Homo-oligomer: A and B are copies of this chain.
């Protein structure tokens, strides 16, 4: 978020009057715009490396009919362009604002800059934020998995929960550093596939029998059949804390010691896991947005497009907002995790430049090799 903001400011501050909208739509609704002076570019460079949102983020319940008011206010203030940084909700707001501006006769240039750790924005190869979050998840799953491998004589099952309310991009990234079937994670469950309790329990049991422990990764937004009190199967989202529920289930149904663990907010903010390319791309999108705004382009989201080549080359394109707003972007069917399988090779190749090329799997623990040693 802040890297894109910095890229934008770097480009426009020298010769434009620029305001920061505090807390997203809330700032538009409450007219909380603060002037950003050219002299503060150095400060912006400093904040560009921070997690969070320097201008504050928002969760404002804007209604369709509120946007004309925002547009009139911006017109009265003489604001000629507005860039918003975020995910699906933000692109929805950009679209509404653009249309409202036209209705009130204001030629406001509205540009959406993609940013989401969930990576659920359509029409772009990936969204800034995702590469760094994936880097955290991939290393955390490898590291916690390796730690649990050491302890499998007294701990059996760990269920790690990643972000991803509708999609499993981050959960599947947890397999990036897996080399052999016996390496953790052993099982991954994503919202793209309906969760089935009986299959889950069967797969955990088989994994534990095969390797002596099981590391399971789940998206927070897992959907599926959870057993109700009456014994019926419900089809309902299990949002939030699903890892703890599943760990409890494993304990009750399989009698194995199991722990649920949320990777938590640190997965989207951990400065130690920032992918340099991710940050650089975010900044580049900000700069590009500023250039387009100068050219009076409006009603688009910037999109990253990979050139078909063996090396990683990107071009930045514009996508009409109405092809993005409200559209989900699930994992492709053949990148979904297959129980007992390994990381789809195409997914690993796609992820490698985003997550960083300096990560590698660990060798197995010696205690896990004892059988081999004895022969």
Contacts and interface: CB of A to CB of B under 8 A. Distances in A.
B365 A53 contact: yes
Contacts of A52: 146-151, 365
Contact of A271 (B54, B143, B262, B363): B143
B366 A143 contact: no
A272 B269 contact: no
A115 interface: no
B56 A150 contact: yes
Nearest to A369: B34
A270 interface: yes
Contacts of A59: 151, 153-154
A20 to B, nearest CB: 6
Given A262-B262, A262-B264, A264-B261, A147 B365 contact: no
A47 B369 CA distance: 14
B46 A367 contact: no
Interface residues of A, number: 57
A13 to B, nearest CB: 14
Interface in A237-283: 261-266, 268-273
B266 A367 contact: no
A91 interface: no
A56 B366 contact: yes
Contact of A363 (B43, B139, B149, B153): B43
A319 interface: no
Given A146-B52, A269-B146, A363 B47 contact: yes
A226 interface: no
A181 interface: no
12 contacts: A22-B367, A35-B373, A46-B363, A50-B146, A52-B148, A53-B367, A54-B365, A54-B367, A56-B366, A58-B154, A261-B265, A266-B266
Interface of A: 20, 22-23, 26, 32, 34-35, 43, 46-47, 50-59, 136, 139-140, 142-144, 146-154, 158, 261-266, 268-273, 362-363, 365-368, 370, 373-374
Given A143-B271, A261-B265, 18 more contacts: A22-B370, A23-B153, A23-B367, A32-B370, A34-B374, A52-B147, A52-B365, A54-B367, A56-B151, A56-B367, A56-B368, A58-B154, A136-B272, A139-B271, A140-B270, A143-B266, A261-B262, A262-B264
